[in-house]
Amino acid sequence: MTAPDESFEASTDRLTKIVDELESGELPLEKALALFEEGVRLARLAQERIERAERRVEELLAVDADGRPIVRELEELGEQADEAGGGRVLEPRSDPRRRKGPP
């Protein structure tokens, strides 16, 4: 069984092994059910990690109305992703440090 803080790769490796074991058809019912439950948990955690990474990529690639990259600190991005939760996509915001027009 993998811990929730293990790497994405370790979790997907474990999930692959679980699928292989279940597909073998050689497991007793209780063992198969326990592995299935672990697999569902791992799949959900992997999906959450993928969604969080997608939100970060969208934020990092965001541009303002003038086509300029929006620059923000990574910590701020992480806080927004945590606040968004539930798979919501974050809308890019304008960076208040960027000024429009001449100085």
pTM over 0.75: no
- Mean pLDDT in each 10-residue stretch from start to end of the chain (103 residues)? 76 96 95 97 95 90 83 61 47 46 48
- The predicted pLDDT at position 95 comes to 46
* Cβ neighbours for 8, distance < 8 A, ≥ 6 positions apart: 46, 49
Q: Are the beta carbons of 57 and 77 closer than 8 angstroms?
A: no
Q: Are the beta carbons of 81 and 56 closer than 8 angstroms?
A: yes
Q: How far apart are CA 62 and CA 52, in angstroms?
A: 15
